[in-house]
Amino acid sequence: MKKILIFLLAALLTLSLCACGDTSDDPADTGETGTKEEITTSGGVIIQPSGNTATTVKLNANTEDIKLFGARESASDSVLNCNTPGAGFEIVIDGDGGVVNVRTQTVKTVSFRVWVDGEACKNADGGDYFEVNGVKNIEIPAVTAGKHTIRVIRVSDKSAGTAIFYNISFEGEQETIEESNETPLFIEFIGDGITGGAGLGGDREDATQAYAYLTANAMNADYAIAAFAGQGLTVGESPIASNYAKDGNYDAKADIVVVNVGAEDFAQTGDNAVDADAFTTAYKNFLKAVRAQNGSSCKIVCVSTSSNEALNTAIASACEALGGNQAGYYGKALTASAATNPTAAEHAAYATELATYLNSIKDDVISLKTLDRENAGYGEEVDYDSADWNS
């Protein structure tokens, strides 16, 4: 009788242990941060224990076979930082179908957009934006079986706070991304809220509808977007010049930097109205700082979407004073917008106009010698047509 009782107790204990072994609430299965002892890694892919068909790819700056967008933050081996508008990643999967989850963490509410094979994806509620506040999965619903390219991009301004990606999980396998033999053009965009897509996402920014993101995509270029909403060179709680000096990892030098600043400065009125000469000096100093950060071969293209004559004259004057096109300082007036924040259609037009212009100057050879304005033909004062300076 005792032997029977011992046997029954052993059987019950075995069943209890099996029940405890259920991993439905395990971090590796739910996407919660954490690890499982059984998980091993190979090439950045977490291989789940036998019996679990999901693939989870850890995301960081060194993950194999993902393409990074807009990353200006310091590289991390543990997570993928996504702190600037337009930042994100792209991955190719051969999936079995179903929901694809991107494990994400933010400090405040940050909005993202998702594309599957180039088509904008709706969230589970039918909206365009995937919002994260805290630790949460970005759930990409109803991805069909087969090979797909998935792109996830942050649309929120930097002021929305930090965001990180932990991993992406799906049923299926990760595919290899074919790399081009050519080094892609790297363009950095610096500006205020317009550059980051202010007013394009309803009550939020949407960098993916703004001219910077659209221009880079049209040129198939790598890019970084440094957008500081509400800030100018001489106005704002934290002016752009000081923001840019502290923002990002400058190991990656830009081939072209597009600068679109000054609208906030010249929007000031009354006692706060900007002094045009002081602005021009600040603008020239800022361009020199941008050149110092990115190297002597970098081309700096100064654009404006404003109809303010004083602003456009100051920009053109600063470019000319620094040596103009020969020294790698270009002025390009884009078609002015009547609105404080341009519309999505206007941004699309800017992108077409700007991409055409950047393609026309990207191979220019910059003179590395210091140019003398008199000898270089810049000795005479000229009137600048703000509708077409250096076009």
The per-residue pLDDT for 375 is: 32
The CA distance from 10 to 64, in Å, is: 47
Residue 121: inside a domain: yes
pLDDT digits (tens, 9 = 90+) for 239-262: 888 878 665 555 678 999 999 999
- 348 burial type by CB count under 10 A (0-12 exposed, 13-18 middle, 19+ buried): middle
Does 322 reside within a domain? yes
Nearest to 353 by CA among 323, 309, 387, 379: 387
pLDDT > 70: percent of the chain: 76
C-alpha 246/C-alpha 100 separation (Å) is: 35
**Same structural domain for residues 145 and 208?**
no
The reply to whether 284 and 332 lie within a common domain is yes
Burial (CB count <10 Å: 0-12, 13-18, 19+), residue 191? buried
CA–CA separation, 59 and 165 (whole Å): 6
Answer whether residue 58 shows pLDDT above 80: yes
pLDDT value of position 43: 34
Q: What is the per-residue pLDDT across 7-47, written as a single tens digit (0 to 9) for each? A: 444 444 444 433 333 333 333 333 333 332 222 333 333 33
pLDDT score for 28: 37
Number of domains in the chain: 2
Q: Are residues 257 and 231 in the same domain?
A: yes
- Domain match, 134 and 238 both: no
Query: Residue 202 falls within a domain, yes or no?
Result: yes
Residue 340 lies in a domain: yes
Domain identity same for 291 and 341:
yes
Residue 98's CB is within 10 A of a number of other CB atoms, namely 16
| Residue 385 located in a structural domain | no
Report if residue 27 sits inside a domain: no
The answer to whether 38 touches 153, Cβ cutoff 8 Å, is no
Residues 149, 200 within the same domain? no
- Could you tell me if 161 and 194 lie in one domain? no
Helix axis angle for 276-294 and 309-321, nearest 10°, is 50
Whether residues 224 and 345 fall in one domain: yes
User: pLDDT at position 235, please?
Assistant: 87
Which DSSP string do the residues of 59-95 spell out, in sequence order? -STT-TTEEEES--SPP-SS-EE--STT-EEEEEEEE
Q: How far apart are alpha carbons 349 and 220 in whole angstroms?
A: 17
Contacts of 362 (CB under 8 A, 6+ apart): 185, 255, 256, 299
Contact 216, 223 (CB under 8 A): yes
| Structure confidence at residue 364 (pLDDT) | 87
Q: Are residues 347 and 261 in the same domain?
A: yes
Backbone phi and psi for residue 336, each to the nearest 5 degrees, phi listed first: -65, 145
Give the predicted TM-score (pTM) of the model.
0.80
Task: Render pLDDT for 69-109 as a digit per residue (tens, 0 to 9).
Answer: 986 566 667 899 999 999 999 999 999 999 999 999 999 99
Residues 348 and 228 in one domain: yes
Structure tokens at 98: 């179903």
Task: Judge if 350 and 237 occupy the same domain.
Answer: yes
Rounded to whole angstroms, the Cα distance separating 191 from 290 reads: 12
Structural domain of residue 231, as residue ranges?
186-361
Determine if residue 193 is left, alpha or beta; phi over 0 gives left, psi from -120 to 50 gives alpha, anything else beta.
Answer: alpha
Q: Which tokens in the block code for residue 168?
A: 């992406």
| Residue 85, in any domain of the structure | yes
260 vs 97, 305, 315, CA distance in Å? 43, 8, 10
Nearest-angstrom CA–CA distance, 307 and 339: 10
Does 260 lie in the same domain as 191? yes
Q: Amino acid letter at 242?
A: S
User: Which CATH number do you get for residue 243?
Assistant: 3.40.50.1110
Gap between the Cα atoms of 44 and 387, Å rounded: 51
Distance CA 65, CA 44 (A): 9
Given this model, what pLDDT does residue 333 score? Answer: 87
Residue 168: pLDDT over 80: yes
How many CB atoms lie under 10 A from the CB of residue 352?
A: 14
